[in-house]
A and B are shown apart, each in its own frame.
Chain A
Amino acid sequence: MGSGLPHYVQWGPVSITIPNLVVLGLMIVVFAAALVLRLPEEKPGSDHARGARDA
């Protein structure tokens, strides 16, 4: 990365710079990961688990 002339890709009317493409790709990857990955399970006996109760 840095100064100098930009690198870009072109498909028909679509022209996008590589850094913008990377950002777009990362957005999709991070969003998908947030959907699929699970938050670490609470350990049984921890404060969190003990505090859980029916509302």
Chain B
Amino acid sequence: MRGELASDTRKPRMKPYDLVREALSALVAVVLLVTVLAAVFSSPDEPPLTIRGYATSSPVAFLRTALGELDGTGTIASYGPPYNDGTGSLQAIGPISPQRWAGVRIPIDTARTFILDPLQAVAPVQPGVAAALAQFTSASLSQQAAWEKAYGAALDAASSPTAVPAAPPAAGPVGVLLPDLLQIAQVGGLDGLLLASGRFYVTDYTRPLLFLSGDALNTQAQRLHLLSTQWGMMNETGNYPGAVWLWLYTLWYQVPPFSTSSAGDLMIMGIMGILTLAFILTPWIPGVNRLPRVVRIYRLIWRDWYRR
């Protein structure tokens, strides 16, 4: 076939070979290898983060996250498809935006889902919440924004990550609702309320994970060197080898324009899609399919054959 490297046409001598024995030997070798590696090195298992843990260890950061999801400035509140109509994380290259085309498929109104609904659920047993909720939800948007701004200013003035500042009177019902949400979260209530869906069995963690997806998990990931800008996709927690095979995918996230563009993911997925296709179609790609002839490693593999 044209463009294909020529094969040697000399007839090879055949030698006896035991494929089944080779396969079994390889299996035994790998079993021994992984057993020794498992016994000596064990495997990583960093415990998952809970909303309860986050609210307990970093109450001020928790309140700031909750406020962002209430006033619409949070990462998820302004994310865009598939969660809502925001544009904060909407990726597009010119007119090309599969994210916009796919549309809102998992609708999440963060103020309602993350803050108001959980508070509504506990209102019957949490004094003061029902009145504050009624006051907040019946107020105008500008009044809500003014309360939120006043509470945000108080959080900004917090003296330490664990010292929750007193809510100023100007924060109105927000100064009641968010500290209440913190209390609920600190006893584990918010973990359950975000997971609850009206069904008994749940295997979908979209909502609690989205709540933790901003500051909470980022802080942990940075500590463990897992951020995308730290080549984190290749890395495992602790000192274990990770997904080394993702090196090429990870590489793009380190270099401009991908590392700085708001459409970095879309560009990189596009490039990796093309490269993956090229990898699958290697035998047909001119130049690449002749590389083995140039590199000449085949001479080493078949050195006895060429010596003959």
Contact = CB atoms under 8 A, between A and B. Distances in A.
The answer to whether A and B touch directly, with their CB atoms under 8 angstroms apart, is yes
Interface of A: 1-8, 13-20, 22-24, 35-36, 47-48, 51-55
A47 B240 CA distance: 45
- Does more than half of chain A's interface fall in helix, strand or loop, or is it mixed? mixed
Contact of A1 (B14, B234, B239, B297): B239
Contact of A7 (B41, B223, B231, B239): B239
B254 A18 contact: no
B225 interface: yes
B239 A53 contact: no
Given A6-B224, A13-B255, A20 B242 contact: yes
B238 A23 contact: no
A48 B83 CA distance: 66
B225 A3 contact: no
A52 B15 contact: yes
- In this complex, which of A4, A20, A36 has the most chain B Cβ atoms within 10 angstroms of its Cβ? A20
Which among A3, A18, A48 has the highest number of chain B CB atoms within 10 Å?
A: A3
Contact of A4 (B11, B14, B231, B238): B238
Contacts of A7: 239
A15 B241 contact: no
Contacts of A54: 13
Contact of A17 (B12, B235, B254): B235
B241 A22 contact: yes
A53 B13 contact: yes
